[in-house]
């Protein structure tokens, strides 16, 4: 098939999933055309079935903001006609679904029937859904899509709650490429981080308020007060400076390392003993799944799709938002040597349910 994929090209979960999906489809012989304003970060080396089309747009004095959605719509039309696209798969509703719907109608005037698959990933529904100024456009875009999918049952419920949409939503979870995400022997790296065999805790995020990174520090304080431990914080964002300042003013500073954005996050996860994700909301929790694939149990909140990924008492523990007291206690329970081996094993076993080879056929069937 000739398939177009529209996604954000950044490190966020929707862009990662879209990119890995496209690469896998190309590997199976489909012709895959990525359409975005920049090359997706995980796209890597092209093969003969993989193409990237940049959406370029000019800044005109007339417009306060550049008209990206119009440029995207035009690019979809152009690529669909030039490469005979049969399906356009858009990841994230705003503005991708609306642009695809407009492109579909333009193409229909020329007798071209382009099918739309819209995949909802999270904040396009949970945050945008709270802004009623967007609701009519998002609802219309969902109705005009040929197929709508969501990455979790929780997100499916949120979509029905926040939008005037009563059609079918197929739940297809995110997935892991186990060729990349698996425990790798990095003894020298672990020794450098934890020279005295301290337990290593990891958190990765975009350092926004919704990720509740201060809770990570609070949990770590409780752990470090009982056992020797190190904390690695991966990522960057608007809250990072504030978190660093808080860290400098407390007694755990020497045990906390800010690593910034990391492409090879799997190498860091391979030396970790515990992953912490205390988010206020997560429609799926891809970061948690990546950790579990590397045999790292998870401490998480019980919000959104996280309980569907992190099975309480099996792959880690879940708690109410902000309950760092329980999270700290649960973390110490996991980190006991007689428990840790079993939790690591169970985390990996559950993660295997999300192999790309299990998920890819579900999308192919929809196409």
Q: Report the percent of the chain where pLDDT is more than 90.
A: 64
Least confident of 10-19, 45-54, 138-147, 251-260: 10-19
- Placement of tokens 């007798």 in the chain: 111
Domains of the chain (ranges, CATH numbers)? 2-172 (3.40.50.2000), 187-354 (3.40.50.2000)
Q: State yes or no: pLDDT of 11 exceeds 60.
A: no
User: What's the whole-number mean pLDDT along residues 243-251?
Assistant: 83
Q: Is the distance from CB of 53 to CB of 31 less than 8 angstroms?
A: no
| β-bridge pairing 170-171 and 147-150 | parallel
Helix (H, G, I), strand (E, B) or coil at 171: strand
Model confidence, pTM: 0.86
Task: Specify the pLDDT at position 129.
Answer: 58
Span 334-351, average pLDDT: 95
Whether residue 167 is predicted with pLDDT greater than 70 in this model: the reply is yes
- pLDDT value at residue 128: 63
Quote the pLDDT of residue 125: 72
* 281-310: pLDDT as tens digits: 888 988 999 999 999 999 999 999 999 999
Mean pLDDT, residues 154-168:
91
* 155 in Cβ contact with 305 (< 8 Å): yes
- The DSSP bridge partners found for residue 300 are 277, 318
pLDDT in tens, 46-65: 678 999 999 987 776 666 66
CA distance 108 to 53: 22
Pick 130 or 4 by higher pLDDT: 4
- For the chain, the average pLDDT equals 90
């Amino acid at each position: 098939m000739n398939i177009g994929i529209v996604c954000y090209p950044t490190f966020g979960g929707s862009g990662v999933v879209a990119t890995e999906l496209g690469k896998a489809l190309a590997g199976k012989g489909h012709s895959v055309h990525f359409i975005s304003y920049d090359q997706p970060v995980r796209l890597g080396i092209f093969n003969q079935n993989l193409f990237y089309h940049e959406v370029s747009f000019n800044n005109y004095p007339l417009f306060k903001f550049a008209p990206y959605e119009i440029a995207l719509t035009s690019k979809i039309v152009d690529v669909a006609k030039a490469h005979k696209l049969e399906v356009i798969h858009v990841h994230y509703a705003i503005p991708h679904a609306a642009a695809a719907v407009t492109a579909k109608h333009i193409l229909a005037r020329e007798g071209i029937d382009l099918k739309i698959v819209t995949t909802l990933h999270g904040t396009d529904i949970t945050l945008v859904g709270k802004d009623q100024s967007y609701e009519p456009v998002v609802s219309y875009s969902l109705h005009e899509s040929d197929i709508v999918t969501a990455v979790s049952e929780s997100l499916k419920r949120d979509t029905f709650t926040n939008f005037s949409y009563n059609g079918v939503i197929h739940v297809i979870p995110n997935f892991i490429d186990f060729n990349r995400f698996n425990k790798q022997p990095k003894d020298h790296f672990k020794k450098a981080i934890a020279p005295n065999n301290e337990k290593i805790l990891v958190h990765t995020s975009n350092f926004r308020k919704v990720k509740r990174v201060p809770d990570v520090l609070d949990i770590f304080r409780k752990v470090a007060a009982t056992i020797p431990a190190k904390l690695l914080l991966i990522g960057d964002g608007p809250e990072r400076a504030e978190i660093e300042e808080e860290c400098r003013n407390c007694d755990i500073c020497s045990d906390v390392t800010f690593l910034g954005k990391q492409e090879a996050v799997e190498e860091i996860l391979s030396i970790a003993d515990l992953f912490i994700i205390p988010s206020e909301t997560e429609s799926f929790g891809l970061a948690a799944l990546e950790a579990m694939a590397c045999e790292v149990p998870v401490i998480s909140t019980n919000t959104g799709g996280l309980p569907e990924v992190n099975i309480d008492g099996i792959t880690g523990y879940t708690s109410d938002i902000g309950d760092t007291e329980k999270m700290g206690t649960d973390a110490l329970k996991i980190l006991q040597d007689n428990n840790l081996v079993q939790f690591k094993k169970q985390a990996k076993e559950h993660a295997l349910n999300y192999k790309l080879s299990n998920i890819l056929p579900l999308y192919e069937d929809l196409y």
